[in-house]
Amino acid sequence: MSGSAPVFAVDKTELLDARPGLTVILTGQQAHHAVRVRRLRSGESVDLVDGYGCRASGIVADDPSPDRVSIVLGDIDREAPRRPRVVVAQALIKGDRTDRAIETMTEVGVDEIIPWSAERSVVRWRGEKAVAGARRWETIAREAAKQSRQAWFPRVHPLCSLEGLCEVVAQAEFNVVLDVAGEPLSSMQVPTSGDLVVVVGPEGGLTANEIAQLRAVGAHLIRLGPSILRSATAGTVAAVALLSRSPRWPS
């Protein structure tokens, strides 16, 4: 695979039976981006990813148009599922910091992102706004995964309540709730498999009720360092701290 070739996302069905010599067609936004933004021409190299671990190199065939770009496949690589899996439950926060939080969590390799409505969240998703919000997060994560050349895309969940979040925490192999009064993360043994769940609260912090319910299902309160991190930063920092101690980031 080329380290500098532009990356385009395709539906997983497009690469399900992929093999060298087959042709995949880019249409819609992907074709428009390839021709109008990247200015691709016949004979140029690209990489295709499906978000489920498949990556294929390819060559632009014929004369591409903004409506249709034919890619002849070359090498095919199917990456194994990443272990352990990092899941970040991010409380809803105000402003464009959310976009950057999703981008950076994706860039470092977070596998699942769960938006959740905390008691002190200023932002509220209700009805169609909840559906649209989750879709926006999904789009941001997808684009960030492409930019960082990843074959696996994060799964973005629908909006989660505290009760739903407690179920996720209870089932995890390893779980932490970020809190300034917690134990240092360095004091915990990080497993090499299963789901590593990180709960990030809103800018105003978690309430005593939220902490009590999360601790009742086995959550561990931890802190990341001597400084106070913003809600939009904390999830990425926690993911890096965990991944740096896992087989996914070998020393």
Q: How far apart are CA 5 and CA 149, in angstroms?
A: 10
Q: How far apart are CA 7 and CA 143, in angstroms?
A: 10
- Cβ pair 36, 66 in contact under 8 A: yes
Q: How far apart are CA 176 and CA 169, in angstroms?
A: 8
Q: What local confidence, expressed as pLDDT, does residue 222 receive?
A: 96
Q: What local confidence, expressed as pLDDT, does residue 192 receive?
A: 92
Three-class DSSP category at 215:
helix
- Positive/negative CA dihedral, 67, 73, 75, 77: positive
Q: What local confidence, expressed as pLDDT, does residue 99 receive?
A: 94
User: Closest Cα partner for 6 from 86, 52, 64, 82?
Assistant: 64
- Cβ pair 132, 170 in contact under 8 A: no
Q: What local confidence, expressed as pLDDT, does residue 15 receive?
A: 94
- Cβ pair 14, 50 in contact under 8 A: yes
Is this prediction's pTM over 0.85? yes
User: pLDDT per position in the chain (251 positions), as tens?
Assistant: 555 899 999 999 999 899 999 999 999 999 999 999 999 999 999 999 999 999 999 999 988 999 999 999 999 999 999 999 999 999 999 888 999 999 999 999 999 999 999 999 999 999 999 999 999 999 999 999 999 999 999 999 999 999 999 999 999 999 999 999 999 998 999 999 999 999 999 999 999 999 999 999 999 999 998 899 999 999 999 999 999 999 999 76
Q: What local confidence, expressed as pLDDT, does residue 251 receive?
A: 66
Strand 85-91 versus strand 195-200 pairing type? parallel
Tell me the CA distances in angstroms from 7 to 85, 216, 225, one per residue in order. 23, 44, 36
Residues 6+ apart with CB under 8 A from 105: 88, 90, 113, 141, 154, 235, 236, 239
Tell me if the domain spanning 85-243 has CATH number 3.30.420.40: no
Tell me if the domain spanning 7-78 has CATH number 2.40.240.20: yes
Q: What local confidence, expressed as pLDDT, does residue 209 receive?
A: 97
Q: What local confidence, expressed as pLDDT, does residue 225 receive?
A: 87
Q: What local confidence, expressed as pLDDT, does residue 210 receive?
A: 98
Tell me the CA distances in angstroms from 231 to 100, 128, 174, 235, one per residue in order. 11, 24, 21, 7
Angle ∠(206,140,155) on CA atoms, nearest 5: 70
Phi/psi at 52 (nearest 5 deg)? -120, 25
Domain ranges of the chain: 7-78, 85-243
Q: Which amino acid is at 32?
A: H
Q: What local confidence, expressed as pLDDT, does residue 96 receive?
A: 85
> Containing H/E element for 74?
strand 68-78
Residue 54: alpha-carbon gap to chain centroid: 16
Q: What local confidence, expressed as pLDDT, does residue 129 receive?
A: 94
Cis peptide before 84 (omega within 30 of 0): yes
